[in-house]
Amino acid sequence: MPLKPDDLDQITAATLGHYNSVAEDFREGTRDHDVSQNIDALLRHIHGTPPFTVLDFGCGPGRDLQTFTRMGHIAVGLDGSERFAQMAREDSGCEVLQQDFLKLDLPAGRFDGIFANAVLFHIPKQELPRVLKQLWAALKPGGVLFSSNPRGDNREGWNGPRYGSYHDLEAWQSLLTAAGFVELEHYYRPAGLPREQQPWLASVWRKP
């Protein structure tokens, strides 16, 4: 059953409402998460001379914006949550866009890289092809997209107060390839554990 516009509005409102309501606890709970493996995976594939302009898509409270900035890059955040966008601006000093993921308005060809860490799974599958093409258009030619999502068996629905769509590797590869991306690498996280203890699928893609 396709999701109707009213369904999509409800998904957005409920998911963002949840994040707004737990924003402070979320910031404290994720402050020390080590995503250096993911940041390195994005940056090592970007061609050219740094500093790079990086869009942290779904930046949350701004932890990774601060990391990119400390590394000397030009980081721009984007989040749908009003509270997260406010926190990210205050904590990072970066430009932060507040935009509904289903109603994006991104500048064409601005970014060397897009860092989509633990975020794209919130987009219903029927909307993903359109959103991925918008991200593709926002990258410079040769630009790089990093994504990390909880892996699953290609089902979607409510997980408590949040909506999620959970893809396996083959389905994710199909979606990204259809949007015009070329795969560079993929891996599972956390590193060094048996596969059944690695709930996250990370992948890196280039805009040709």
What CATH superfamily classification does 5-207 receive?
Vaccinia Virus protein VP39 (3.40.50.150)
CA distance 129 to 9: 18
For residue range 150-199, what is the model confidence (pLDDT) as tens digits?
Answer: 999 999 999 999 999 999 999 999 999 999 999 999 999 999 999 999 99
Per-residue pLDDT at 1: 84
Per-residue pLDDT at 9: 97
Domain ranges of the chain: 5-207
Per-residue pLDDT at 28: 86
**Confidence tier at 111 by pLDDT (50, 70, 90):** very high
Residues 6+ away with beta carbon under 8 Å from 46 = 52, 112, 113, 143, 144
Asked if 147 contacts 203 with a C-beta cutoff of 8 angstroms, the reply is yes
Per-residue pLDDT at 122: 97
**Confidence tier at 29 by pLDDT (50, 70, 90):** confident
**What is the pLDDT of the chain when averaged over all its residues?**
97
Question: Is residue 120 classed as helix, strand or coil in its secondary structure?
Answer: helix
